[in-house]
Amino acid sequence: AKKVLEVKNLKMYYFTSRGPVKAVDDVTFDLEKGEVLGLAGESGCGKSSIGFTLMGMPQPPGRIVSGSIKIDGREIVGLPEDVLRREIRWQKISMIFQGAMNALNPVYTIGYQMIEPLIYHRGMSREEALDKAMKYLELVGLDPEIVYRYPHELSGGMKQRVVIATALILEPDIVIADEPTTALDVVVQAQIINLMKRLKKKLGLSMIFITHDLSILAEISDRVAIMYAGKIVEIGPSEKIYNEPAHPYTQKLLAAIPRLHEDVEKLEFIPGSPPNLLNPPTGCRFHPRCPYAMDRCRQEEPKLVEVDKDHYAACWLL
Ligand code: SF4
Ligand code: MG
């Protein structure tokens, strides 16, 4: 299948007064047209940092240090900001930011907030733009008349649908969704997941779905990438990751998912905490928390190796 996104050896560091924080450290992956790639890992592992970097907007004091990001074959690393704004961001790749539904401007109507990009990027008239906004609200299962309402008049689930509609309105090929269900209750979470599955099919969207919750990804992802301390430590088809996880960290994460009818007390947890990326552990970054750590793990960094078809993991046990 056609690759809509190719990321190679990407490094994005936050340059703080105490030194560089290596939030995205030599990350390589790609995304096929119509595919959903789940990106999982504990908070602070660099998932959202990857999202912002792919949008061409690493958060200050972050900067791309090296590597390549190709969208539809076009290199975007090094493009000037005005080109990114005019040609790439929101049009080729868009992002549903974590918590965006709570950042809708309370003084403007939903319609007003949705039509701005259409007027700016597409040169539409107000009427045309409003018409398109109404179509997109319908697409995400909302009453189009919501264009005339204000954010405080909508429920959390409705606001999240507005945010999704807005991210799609310029018809990007790739959408990054950062924890899109995290602040919602369980029933609404399921509705949003179903909506995203429907949109993927209907619009042929390619998606990167970022979450700390592996149980959500099983439902929506074709492939899953597991991040630890700024690196992808395992990536492969969802059923492989869930049924035959190869990396000790993935195994731990999966053991920590509560299953229906299971005693919560029996849940495993991962001892220790994620490392400080200002000064990450030598060798395998997971070694201080890994039950299988050997001498070699403390000294040499394991590279991703293919453990099965399209399934890669970075661990000296493999
Ligand atoms: Fe554990 Fe070593 Fe594998 Fe890292 S390389 S996950 S420390 S066994
Ligand atoms: Mg995050």
- Give a yes or no: residue 163 inside a domain: yes
* Residues above pLDDT 90, as percent of the chain: 85
pLDDT by residue (tens digit) across 59-91?
Answer: 999 999 999 999 999 999 999 999 999 999 999
Q: In this structure, is residue 318 part of a structural domain?
A: no
Distance separating alpha carbons of residues 240 and 227, to the nearest angstrom: 16
Give yes or no: residues 39 and 160 share one domain.
Answer: no
Instruction: Look at residue 293 and tell me if it is in a domain.
Output: yes
- More confident position, 1 or 221: 221
Q: How far is the CA of 55 from the centre of ligand 2 (A)?
A: 15
Q: What is the pLDDT of residue 44?
A: 86
Regarding the beta carbon of 293 and ligand 1, being less than 6 Å apart is answered yes
Residue 239 falls inside a structural domain: yes
In a domain, 111, yes or no: yes
Average pLDDT over residues 105-126: 94
pLDDT, averaged across the chain = 93
Between CA 311 and CA 234 the distance in angstroms is: 8
Ordered DSSP codes for 76-109? -TT--HHHIIIIIBTTTEEEE-TTGGG-S-TTS-
What is the tally of structural domains in the chain?
Answer: 2
- Examine the fold and report which residue of 168, 187, 214 is the final residue of a domain before the chain moves on: 168
CB 166 within 8 A of CB 113: yes
Q: Are residues 200 and 290 in the same domain?
A: yes
Q: Show the domain range for 121.
A: 107-168
CATH of the domain at 198: 3.40.50.300
State if residue 55 touches ligand 1 by the CB under 6 angstroms criterion. no
- 141 and 83 in a common domain: no
Does residue 102 form part of some domain?
Answer: no
14 C-alpha to ligand 1 centroid (Å): 26
Number of other residues whose CB lies within 10 A of the CB of residue 96? 23
Q: Is 216 in the same domain as 307? A: yes
Of 5, 85, 79, nearest to 39 (Cα)? 5
Residue, of 182 and 56, whose pLDDT is higher: 56
CA dihedral 274, 228, 175, 137 (to 10 degrees): -40
∠ CA 37-67-12 to the nearest 5 degrees? 80
Ligand nearest to the CA of 293: 1
Q: Tell me which ligand sits closest to the C-alpha of residue 210.
A: 2
- Looking at ligand 1, which atom is closest to the CA of residue 247? 6
Residues β-bridged to residue 68 = 8
Query: Is residue 286 in a domain?
Result: yes
Domain identity same for 145 and 276: no
- Render pLDDT for 245-294 as a digit per residue (tens, 0 to 9): 999 999 999 988 766 555 555 555 666 677 888 889 999 999 999 999 99
Asked if residue 186 and residue 145 are part of one domain, the reply reads no
pLDDT given for residue 276 in this prediction: 83
What pLDDT does 270 receive? 67
Answer whether 248 contacts ligand 1 (Cβ < 6 A).
yes
296 lines ligand 1 (CB under 6 A): no
Ligand 1 within 6 A of CB of 31: no
Domain co-membership, 51 together with 187: yes
Same domain membership, residue 150 and residue 11? no
Only one residue has tokens 């592992």, namely 45
Judge if 51 and 155 occupy the same domain.
Answer: no
Q: Is it the case that residue 94 has pLDDT exceeding 60? A: yes
Helix or strand holding residue 46 (H, E): none
Query: Has the ipTM of the complex gone over 0.85?
Result: yes
Determine the pLDDT at residue 219: 86
| 100, part of any domain | no
Q: Is the dihedral of CA 97, 208, 84, 113 positive or negative?
A: negative
How, if at all, do strands 174-178 and 206-211 pair? parallel
Q: 182 and 37: one domain?
A: yes
Q: Is 295 helix (H, G, I), strand (E, B) or coil?
A: helix
pLDDT tens, position by position, 127-151:
999 999 999 999 999 999 999 999 9
> Side chain identity at 10, as an amino acid letter?
L
Same domain, 195 and 159: no
User: Which of 149, 168, 187 is the last residue in one of the domains?
Assistant: 168
In a shared domain, residues 31 and 78: yes
Cβ atoms of 213 and 202 within 8 Å: the answer is no
Average pLDDT over every residue of 16-41: 95
Residue 268: per-residue pLDDT: 59
Of 168, 189, 214, the residue that ends a domain is: 168
